[in-house]
Structure 1
Amino acid sequence: MATDEAVQEKNLGNEAYKKKDFSTAHIHYDKAIELDPTNIAFYTNKAAALFEESRFDECIELCKKAVDIGRDNRADYQMIAKAMARAGNAYLKKEELKEALLWFQKSLSEHRDQELVKKAKTLEAQIKEAEKLAYLNPEMAEEEKQKGNEYFKKGDYPTAMKHYNEAIKRHPDNAVLYSNRAACYTKLMDFQRALEDCESCIRRDKKFIKGYIRKGSCLLAMKEFTKAQEAYEQALSIDPANAEAMQGLRQSISNSDATPEQVRERALKDPEVQEILRDPGMRMILEQMSQDPGAVREHLANPEIAKKILKLKQAGIIQMH
């Protein structure tokens, strides 16, 4: 039980603390501790002054001592938690994030302060993000990709997968890596994961044609023929002359149960097809082609028009021989 005199000294210390007169505050806190060395509050108050003076190492040591004093004298668990949280805050100021989180977690094990819960979660996320960023290394990712490719060529797909996994951790924004891993999953007959990697690849690079071709291949294997057709059509919208995409498109159409009318109906719902058909210039070209089949060759010489004509042909909107 703190003596009245010790409490008075602590109160004087608090008054000085509020005025930011920390040297005077320390004199009173030290006197309070001398009069009653068993009271945890005197130590935590002095630690608060040390914290405000940016004397973080001293603050931490005093907080740890306060915890020991509190344990020995069966102090209220909230007071012990307070000392631990203050140590965590001092570590945070020193940018020792893992130590700060450790002391916040210790504090929360004594008393679940909701504000500290939020602070600890934010800090935990910050640490994970920092570790993730520290791990990024595009050069090492390329090395791992090359190793993966070597094992892939040998047919050792599980080992190739390990290297592709590591490459992605090192460079998670590289679309090619997801495409390579998708090929690996496909060989291992894990089509759902392969498809997920194709989507990840496409999200990162919407112009990377291999992502759409591999997506089409996965969907064919999963007997999702209509979706496979869409994937190959997207690939051909990037490169209308891509042989692999053309072959995949033919395969998906030949396996599809959809009637030509159903294919045409679905195509007419395609925003890209709708945009082409709304274009007055394209409507004139299509009308000219219907009246003069020989005009097709002339229009195909223009890459932009050729791309639109091919899109309509693939969609079943027009017929070309």
Structure 2
Amino acid sequence: MSTRFSKTPGWLEYHAAPSTPTYMLPAGTVDAHCHVFGPGDTFPFAPERRYTPCDAGKEQLFALRDHLGVTRNVIVQATCHGADNSAMVDAVRACGGRARGVATVRPDVGAAELRELDSAGVRGVRFNFVKRLVDAAPKDELAAIGAKIAQLGWHIVVYFEGADLPELEGFLGSLPTPVVVDHIGRPDVTRPVGAQEFTRFLRFVERHEVWVKISCPERLSVTGPAALDGERHAYADVVPFARRVVDEFPDRVLWGTDWPHPNLTGHMPDDGLLVDHIPRVARTPWQQHKLLVENPMRLYWPGEDQPGKTV
């Protein structure tokens, strides 16, 4: 562990021994949302961070990738590193083409820095609107970033609370790139899937070039990870929301572990159980292959062969 930084009190570390999934991921599966933290002694955490995590470096991420049967990763810049993308880029470069990155950049980012990130394997930037994690930049500054990265063919990943969509959707819909929404748009799963808030989110996705990550049931669930009837059916209250997105937009959904699961307070998920959650929300082999292989390959590795591509 880092000798330079002390973890936020009560910080939950990632699962040290995740189970082996019973669901076998298809060849070429992409974990399209994961992170690396430090290690802090090598890649210091940002002074302006709102939390200090445990070390969770590329070696641990790659070990999980291989344990679960994942082929590729999309490594998303963690807010604890601010706009210093060094740890993320180091991990992407170490994968030999089997990883892509999503960066955080400042409004004054220059063309040379963007070209360097692109060469390293970065294919997008992240805008975070979750107020407990970051102070969101003014929208005109974010729009300026969007205009710069559009020239590279990148996309924008956005993280927001479901209740905040009404104030954001006009801005998000105006961005000149595809938009990828983290964690199903963080719906309130205590409400019916047909309630106004989630219906508005679905229609937002429908009207724009928006992709949705079917990820983080452990962040959204109230029922939690308890198995049902002795089976590995956890996070049951999230299932209808994820299914609805997969059913309506099979060509624009992605899946990710969110490893090492930052800022959880209730429990730390078993990553094997998260894999076993997949066939509950993507119920056919066709949907599963779209979610896990075809869609992320099309977004992050366009033009490359897609194992087992459906027709």
TM above 0.5: no
Q: Report TM bin, short chain.
A: under 0.3
Q: Which has the higher contact order (CA 8 A, sep 6+)?
A: 2
Higher strand share: 2
For the pair shown, the structure with the greater C-alpha radius of gyration is: 1
Q: TM-score, structure 1 length as denominator?
A: 0.23
